[in-house]
A and B are shown apart, each in its own frame.
Chain A
Amino acid sequence: MKQVTIKTLFIVLSLIASNPCIAETDEEKGLAIATEADRRDTGFKDSIANMTMELKNKQGQTSVRNVRVKTLEVEGDGDKGLSIFDTPKDIKGTASLTYSHALQPDEQWLYLPALKRVKRISSKNKSGPFMGSEFAYEDISSQEIEKYTYKFIKEETINGIECFVVERYPAYKHSGYTRQLAWINKQEYRPERIIFYDRKNTLLKTLNYSGYKQYLGKYWRAETMHMVNHQTGKSTLLTWHEYVFQTGLTDKDFNRNSLKRAK
Chain B
Amino acid sequence: MKKNLLLALAFVLPTTQAAEWSGNFAVQNRYFLHDPLTQNAEQHNNYVSISAEPEFYHSWDDDRQSLTFTPYARIDQYDNERSHGDIRELNWQRVFDGWELKAGISKVFWGVTESQHLVDIINQTDSVENIDGEDKLGQPMVNALYEHDLGTLSLFVLPGFRERTFADIEGRPRSYPVVDTNQVLYESSDEDNHIDYALRWFQILGDWEIGLSWFNGTSREPVFMPGTNNGQAILIPYYPQMTQTGLDVQMTTEAWLWKLELIARDWTTIDSQTQLLTAEDYLALTTGFEYTFVGVFESDADLGLVMEYLYDDRGDETTGFFDNDIMTGLRLALNDEQSSEALLGIILDVDNQENLVSLEASRRLNNNWKLELEIRSFHHIKLQSRLAGFKNDDFIQLDLAYYF
Contacts and interface: CB of A to CB of B under 8 A. Distances in A.
Interface of A: 55, 57, 63-64, 87-93, 105, 107, 115-118, 120-125, 127-129, 131-132, 173-174, 176, 252, 255-257, 261, 263
A115 B147 contact: no
Report which residue of A57, A107, A118, A263 has the largest number of chain B beta carbons within 10 angstroms of its beta carbon.
A263
A93 B257 contact: no
A105 B294 CA distance: 15
B254 A123 contact: yes
Interface pairs A-B: 5 shortest CB-CB: A89-B403, A132-B337, A124-B254, A117-B109, A116-B109
B302 interface: yes
B266 interface: no
Contacts of A123: 254
Interface string B278-308: 0000000000001010110000101000000
A79 B302 CA distance: 26
Contacts of A118: 109
8 contacts: A89-B22, A115-B134, A120-B252, A121-B257, A122-B254, A122-B290, A125-B302, A257-B145
A11 B338 CA distance: 62
A261 B338 CA distance: 26
B337 A256 contact: no
B274 interface: no
Contact of A124 (B93, B97, B255, B404): B255
Contact of B370 (A57, A90, A256): A90
A51 B250 CA distance: 32
B173 to A, nearest CB: 22
A179 B252 CA distance: 29
Interface residues of B, number: 47
A116 B108 contact: yes
B107 A92 contact: no
B401 interface: yes
A122 B257 contact: yes
Interface of B: 22, 24, 57, 59, 63, 66, 93, 95, 97-98, 100, 107-109, 134, 145, 147, 152, 202, 204, 209, 250, 252-257, 290, 292, 294-295, 300, 302, 335-339, 364, 366-368, 370, 401, 403-404
A131 B334 CA distance: 11
A128 B339 CA distance: 12
A200 to B, nearest CB: 11
A118 B109 CA distance: 8
Nearest to A88: B367
Contacts of A255: 147
A63 B366 contact: yes
A105 to B, nearest CB: 5
A105 B109 contact: no
A261 B93 contact: yes
A56 B78 CA distance: 44
A122 B367 contact: no
A93 B367 CA distance: 14
Contact of B66 (A120, A128, A263): A263
Contacts of A87: 367
Report which residue of B57, B95, B134, B252 has the largest number of chain A beta carbons within 10 angstroms of its beta carbon.
B252
A107 to B, nearest CB: 8
Contacts of A121: 252, 257
Contacts of B337: 55, 57, 63, 132
A128 to B, nearest CB: 5
A90 B107 contact: no
Contacts of B95: 261
Contact of B204 (A57, A122, A128, A256): A256
B109 A90 contact: no
B403 A127 contact: no
A173 B254 contact: yes
Contact of A105 (B254, B335, B366, B367): B254
A117 B100 CA distance: 18
Given A122-B257, A252-B97, 16 more contacts: A55-B337, A87-B367, A89-B368, A89-B404, A90-B368, A92-B403, A93-B22, A117-B109, A118-B109, A120-B257, A121-B252, A128-B302, A128-B335, A131-B339, A132-B336, A257-B145
A128 B147 contact: no
A131 B292 CA distance: 18
B45 to A, nearest CB: 29
B66 A90 contact: no
Contacts of B336: 129, 132
Given A90-B403, A263-B57, A120 B22 contact: no
Nearest to B337: A132
A123 to B, nearest CB: 6
A25 to B, nearest CB: 33
Nearest to A199: B295
B22 to A, nearest CB: 5
Nearest to A262: B63
